[in-house]
Structure 1
């Protein structure tokens, strides 16, 4: 029997999805732009039924979004799983509004559990937006 899936599987405002499978579980991280808390995480067992389980950026120490305008803030988080932990890379587009669009600071955060707590961000450069993290098979992580 074929099951029909109705799109969108994530209703509402959930742009730039990044999905990862860990065992029998699927997780999607989505952009939140200037909205706080930042970076939503949804969970599913079947890729059809999803529920919001956490946010990555829950403390202003991770990213202070005070004063951000529409379409600024967190862009296209990249969610991965390696070495027994979850990893999220993201950009802060607010910081590039001064004129140098491609000088957008990017960061990586980690958590042992998808529900957090998530680490403080580690800067990974100002090379544009929409970063991604590659996990090498020799346990070296490179952005």
Structure 2
């Protein structure tokens, strides 16, 4: 017998590990999630789900060293609280690099990159 959505249960956390400050966006039936990575590289993992319970990592938004200059930065000066948006076929990841005093945007037509 199938369960109705209200009868389904799942384990918390649904995304085990260290994935702070999640930012999420829905495109049709798909959900995309990005999280802070501070000064760790590669930066900003991106995940995909169709049910908000089962997530699959697609990769990292920042996967080349030249994309994020964290040289000499302390952990608390890295990438914090990214968000992901979608408009007219383009995905936008917006975040701040605290220790360098600025924000930046990375774009792609495919959330798995490039």
TM-score of the alignment, normalized to the shorter chain, above 0.5: yes
1:108 aligns with 2:105: yes
User: Secondary structure of the residue that 1:31 maps to in structure 2?
Assistant: coil
Query: What does residue 51 of structure 2 align with?
Result: 46
Q: Distance in 2 between matches of 1:61 and 1:34?
A: 13
Determine the structure 2 residue equivalent to 1:19. Answer: 24
Q: Whose RCO is larger (CA < 8 A, sep 6+)?
A: 2
* 106-115 or 5-14, which deviates more: 5-14
Deviation at 1:23, TM superposition (A): 1.8
TM-score by length of 1: 0.72
1:33 is paired with a residue whose SS is coil
TM-score (normalised: structure 2): 0.89
Confirm or deny: 8 A CA contact 1:20 1:26 kept in the other structure.
yes
Residues in 2 aligned to 1:11 and 1:68: alpha-carbon distance in whole angstroms: 27
Query: Gapped runs of 5+ residues in structure 2?
Result: none
1:21-65 deviation digits (Å, cap 9, x = unpaired): 112211100000000111010111111111111111111221122
Is the 1:36–1:65 contact (alpha carbons within 8 Å) kept by the matching residues of 2?
no
The answer on 1:91 being equivalent to 2:110 is no
Flag as ranges the 4+ runs of structure 1 deviating above 3 A. none
